[in-house]
Amino acid sequence: MVMKQNIINARITFKKSPIHVLEKFAFKDMPNACLTFKKNSSVSECVIIQTCNRIELFAASDNPNIDKIKSTWASLTGQEEGVFRDTLEVCENKDAYEHLLKLTSGLESLVVGEEQILGQIKESISVARQTRASGKRLNKLFDRSIRIGTRIRNSTGIGRGGISLGSMAVKLAEENVDDIKSKHVLLIGTGEAATMVAKSLKKRGYAFNVTSRTVERSIGFSQTLGGNPIKFEEVLSGFSNYEIIFVATTAPYFLVTFDKMKDAMKNKKSGAMILDLSNPRTVDEKVATIPGIKLMNIDQIAEMIEKNMKKRKDKVSTVENIISEEVPVIEATMKRLDAEPLVKDVFTNADSIRIKELQKALQMLGETDEKRIKIIDELTKAVVESIVSTPMNNLRRASEQGSPELLEIASKLFNYKKKE
């Protein structure tokens, strides 16, 4: 019996979970996690992609069971199964292929087009291969997707010249404040915008304090993205300690008020730059009237990268069009793999019969001339291949077109039994 293999993608990403929550779902030992999923979750192949912005499982299974995947994931990370209800996204087959292509081309990244994710995907499939957690299906899918993603990046330039909101904010701070490494820097927030700021600060080697309304969030954030976590209460009464303040929260009120900053600047010898990346704004605009303070809000920062983002958005639609053309090709390739074990088995059995009957015939003829034997051998190979090739190619095409019933009939005709 020929079993159809499904490709499943189960993921938790920054789109539904903040960074400090994502960390709770991360696997400490990825090779072991892959093998555990294979053992306990009814999957035959497994690849895990794990970054600070996403944890994703790709698996092959002839009997997908999302509940088993959830329970295995929960046991590996010490979580309750109920926590997956609002965070886990799941897709299969065609949708999973499209998602992987969007990953390799950079469309799913926090900063569209960023290069790092492609290297992380290459590393993930490499680890899965080394531990034999992946097999011919996921190896084929990832190899093809990496090649397509690389080609898309090269042909569209989706990753060239891009700058995120966080990177632009840090760049503006560099342009307005001398020698940032000697200054005290504060980051308020642990969400998407704060993540981009933290990545940019860390990349440039700038030390910074980070705070959130709960110290647990700050600690989880800092363990993944750097920064020194401090209590929220200390920040509200200690704005005078900082020369650069990045504010990136979703608070429905002004965190940085006119009165607090006025008090902070009374005895402060140096000025302060405040960059408000919050939407809605969480820094009172009147703060900009205080002597020594330079305030920039999200609209001003976004305006500076608008031209860049317009070019990027134009490229996104081009990338999406290429992906929509490539998905059916990958889908046909993956479906064809369902027929390959049967095709290989038929060719192997036919050749075994050919060799057996050839040896009988040569004995009966008493043929010993090597040149003649070679001619007869090549003749029998050609005859068998001519007879078998057409129906086998038709089976491959039927598999590509999604006709499993023909595969089932063929498996019965040829007495094919799936090898475990």
Query: In which element (H, E) is residue 373 found?
Result: helix 370-400
DSSP string, 192-254: HHHHHHHHHHHHHT---EEE-SSHHHHHHHHHHH--EE--HHHHHT-GGG-SEEEE----SS-
Active-site annotation holder among 34, 46, 52, 91: 52
List of residues 6+ apart from 39 with CB closer than 8 A: none
The Cα–Cα gap between 314 and 319 comes to 9
The Cα–Cα gap between 253 and 353 comes to 81
The Cα–Cα gap between 111 and 161 comes to 12
Report which of 252, 268, 260, 261 is spatially closest to residue 295, judged by C-alpha positions: 261
Catalytic annotation present for 46: no
Report which of 326, 247, 251 is spatially closest to residue 287, judged by C-alpha positions: 247
SS3 string, 302-326, reads HHHHHHHHHHHHHHHHHHHHHHHHH
Catalytic residues: 52
